[in-house]
Amino acid sequence: MSALHIKKGASKHSAYNLRPTFSDVDERHTLAVLVENEPGVLARVIGLFAGRGYNIESLTVAEVDHTGHLSRITIVTTGTPQVIEQIKAQLGRIVPVHEVHDLTVEGASVERELAMLKVVGEGDKRVEALRLADIFRASVVDSTLGSFVFEITGAPDKIDAFADLMRPLGLVEVARTGVAALLRGD
């Protein structure tokens, strides 16, 4: 008899499927973490990301329950599904953490961000900047003879698009709050 040269796990008919089942594609996830509002908690959460080399795209923190002294940390990060699961598991092990929710997986969510953009320009560029701001429903919160400061809220993609259009018109500075997100429905 001749030996069969079949790679283990290469056949659908193999009793042992040895092909890897994990994905190596990075995905964007929004995590909502409910924590005790006490000194050092944010540093511990961020230290978890820094210590393992995970990237944070956006970070928003605020106290949400004054009587219970609870804060909500909203983190937008990217990673493979395995990395995201590892992040959630490690966050859950930190003592002052009460809950960890992956809003990307748990259902439809609403994400919003606030940004302020300073645009410097004169003449037609000022008129065009005001026209685009009207289209994007951005508000003028400060105006001088040579500049505007616009305030815009919406999904991060909307803010990115607005900033891209303002660059050739004299965009000089951008300040963004980071993503705030909630699950839709009950």
Q: Which of 165, 52, 46 is nearest to 97 (CA)?
A: 46
Residues 67 and 116 in one domain: no
pLDDT at 19: 52
Within-domain flag for 46: yes
Residue 124: give its domain's CATH number: 3.30.70.1150
Within-domain flag for 17: no
Residue 99: give its domain's CATH number: 3.30.70.260
Q: Taking CA 92 as the corner, what is the angle to CA 86 and CA 98, rounded to the nearest 5 degrees?
A: 155
Whether the CA torsion 93, 96, 98, 104 is positive or negative: it is negative
Strands (E), the chain: 27-36, 56-65, 70-79, 97-102, 109-120, 139-143, 147-154, 171-176, 180-183
Residues 117 and 131 in one domain: yes
Query: 56, 81, 106 — which closes off a domain?
Result: 106
Query: 87, 106, 125 — which closes off a domain?
Result: 106
Query: 83, 106, 129 — which closes off a domain?
Result: 106
pLDDT at 25: 87
**Does this model's pTM top 0.85?**
no
Within-domain flag for 50: yes
Q: Which of 73, 103, 81 is nearest to 25 (CA)?
A: 81
- Integer CA distances (angstroms), 28 to 19, 23, 36, 78, 94, in order: 25, 14, 26, 4, 23
Within-domain flag for 20: no
Rounded to whole angstroms, the Cα distance separating 40 from 34 reads: 14
pLDDT at 38: 94
Within-domain flag for 19: no
Q: Residues with Cβ < 8 Å from 62, sequence gap 6 or more?
A: 71, 72
Residues 83 and 135 in one domain: no
pLDDT at 20: 55
Q: DSSP label at 146? A: S
Residues 149 and 173 in one domain: yes
Domain range enclosing 150: 109-183
H helices of 29-168, in order, are 41-52, 81-93, 103-106, 124-135, 156-166
Here the tokens at position 94 are 């930190």
Within-domain flag for 2: no
Rounded to whole angstroms, the Cα distance separating 133 from 139 reads: 7
Q: What is the pLDDT along the chain (186 residues), one digit of tens a residue?
A: 556 555 555 455 555 555 555 668 889 999 999 999 999 999 999 999 998 889 999 999 999 999 999 999 999 999 999 999 999 999 999 989 999 999 999 999 999 999 999 999 999 999 999 999 999 999 999 999 999 999 999 999 999 999 999 999 999 999 999 999 999 987
- Integer CA distances (angstroms), 133 to 121, 128, 130, 142, 146, in order: 14, 9, 5, 13, 16
Count of domains forming the chain: 2
Residues 113 and 66 in one domain: no
Residues 77 and 124 in one domain: no
